[in-house]
Structure 1
Amino acid sequence: MQLQSKKYNFLTEKTLIGLIFSISIIGVLAELFSYKIILLAYRPLIAFLILCLYWITSKERNILFFITTFFLLLTSIFIISESQFFLIMGMAGIILHRISLIVYIIKLNKVKDFKPVIIAIIPFLFVFSYFLSITDGIPEGSYYALLVQNILVSILGGVILSNYFMNEDTNTPWLSIFGVLSVALYFTVFIEKLFLNNLPQTFFRPLGMILYVTSYFAFFKFVIDTERINAATKEDIE
């Protein structure tokens, strides 16, 4: 019975992964050919499928994963509307998402020494602050929101970069992959919205969609790997 259950979970996991990347291909094609109906459902559906994937794969089912991805799901829904209220809610949602993401990664990696983290934050903060200072295309009332986003992405990048150098023995490559992809995603959106907003559609949007799904899939893999490493370490101690 247990063997059948494991086989069922394995098949379900592979099915969901295949579905996520199949939808991603459809999403990229929809962006290239401007099929707006498909684009509206793309990000919320990806976030929901990642939640389902974690539910059937993880033994811990950590509440922080659900909170983090839930904020991502809400944000994906809010930014669909062009209403000013929902855009503000979407901005608040992505800020809460990134805060919970940082807290979750720190908790998973059991970070206790924050000096390397602070040092690693500096180059990210410098780069994003520089781009923010030279752009003239900031929408009215968005400056401080973008500033907060820059700080949070810099902290996220700093946490991941410091972990790469400080925790080599227990490090999983998926966190580094997630860090590279998520920073690249933010950088891509930042460039498109602030520097290329007056230009016709470019390859940045399809690229952003690819980075979106691959970054959060990498985050899922990082969480699963870390949970297994922590569980194995706990068993060895006991």
Structure 2
Amino acid sequence: MIAIKKTDIFENATTLLLFSLIFFEIIATMMSFEVVQFAFRPSVIVLILYLYWRTSTARNILFFVPFVFLLVTSVCILFKDQYIVMIGLISVAIHRIMLIYFIIKLNKIKDFIPILIAIVPFISIFSHLLYLADEIPARSFYPLVIQNVLVSVFAAVVLSNYFMNKNSNTAWLSIFGLLSTSLYFIVFIEKCFLSSLPPTYFTPVGMILFASSYYAFYKLVRESERTNTYQTS
């Protein structure tokens, strides 16, 4: 009981630190402190990884792998070198693939027909937006197509699970799916349609969605471990 209480106290304190970080990052953005802004995403990732490491007894490797690739992406986007940016794009694609795989494993999904059906509206929306966009550099077109497909598959997995496989994970998975898809949608709109606007219009919202979505993912995995809904690797 004491160990459980200590874990809860640590989790609550770290959660408070995480959302305090969001507040300070928004202030830094408003004041154009770029060095602090660049450290935000890596800091959030490391904090969530540490939180999971300290609170979980399972410490599933499938939790860490997507975050490692996300961390690589967060570092790569700080550079302007074409090859480093390409590494970042490959890393974020692997990150999304690993997330999809982990969620399928987490919820023991075996029927993929609902997922294939649920993909259709997301693919249609992102394809239409991509067709309308006129600010996309030629070299970014195909990576963007790949990201659109992966995000559509991810959203379809979450949506189909909500209707077909309700369990104790459903709430956190739905929150994670909604926040993550919203984050991608906002970034997509910003980069493809509203790139002329200053970043202060979108960066604070992106920070909130980024930290909140991956915190929801952490809660999703911890809830799964508590209810023994999957076997650890």
Q: Which bracket does the TM-score occupy, shorter chain normalised?
A: over 0.9
1:176 aligns with 2:174: yes
Name structure 1 gaps, 5 residues minimum: none
Give percent identity, aligned residues only.
48
Q: Distance in 2 between matches of 1:4 and 1:198?
A: 54
Match of 2:55 among 57, 68, 72: 57
1:42 aligns with 2:28: no
1:7 aligns with 2:1: no
Once the two structures are superposed, residues 151-194 of structure 1 have per-residue CA deviations (whole angstroms, 9 ceiling, x without a partner) of 00000000000000001244430100111100000000001111
Would you say the 8 A contact 2:14–2:51 is kept in 1? yes
How large is the RMSD of aligned CA atoms in angstroms?
1.5
Q: Which residue of 1 aligns with 2:195?
A: 197
Query: How much has 1:228 moved relative to structure 2?
Result: 1.7
Would you say the 8 A contact 2:123–2:149 is kept in 1? yes
Q: Distance in 1 between matches of 2:21 and 2:93?
A: 26
Q: Distance in 2 between matches of 1:212 and 1:131?
A: 22
Would you say the 8 A contact 2:53–2:59 is kept in 1? yes
Would you say the 8 A contact 1:172–1:225 is kept in 2? no
Runs of 4+ in 1 over 4 A off after TM superposition: none
- Stretch of structure 1 that moved more, 110-119 or 69-78: 69-78
Amino acid at match of 1:216: Y
1:167 aligns with 2:165: yes
Would you say the 8 A contact 1:135–1:195 is kept in 2? yes
Match of 1:209 among 198, 207, 210: 207
- Stretch of structure 1 that moved more, 56-65 or 112-121: 56-65
Q: Which residue of 2 aligns with 1:129?
A: 127
Q: Which residue of 2 aligns with 1:152?
A: 150
What TM-score does the superposition give when structure 1 sets the normalisation length?
0.92
Aligned positions, number = 231
SS of the residue 2:138 aligns to: coil
Amino acid at match of 1:151: V
Higher relative contact order (CA 8 A, sep 6+): 2
Query: How much has 1:202 moved relative to structure 2?
Result: 4.3
Amino acid at match of 2:41: R
Q: Distance in 2 between matches of 1:47 and 1:148?
A: 23
Would you say the 8 A contact 2:70–2:91 is kept in 1? yes
Q: Distance in 2 between matches of 1:201 and 1:214?
A: 20
Q: Distance in 1 between matches of 2:15 and 2:190?
A: 29
Name structure 2 gaps, 5 residues minimum: none
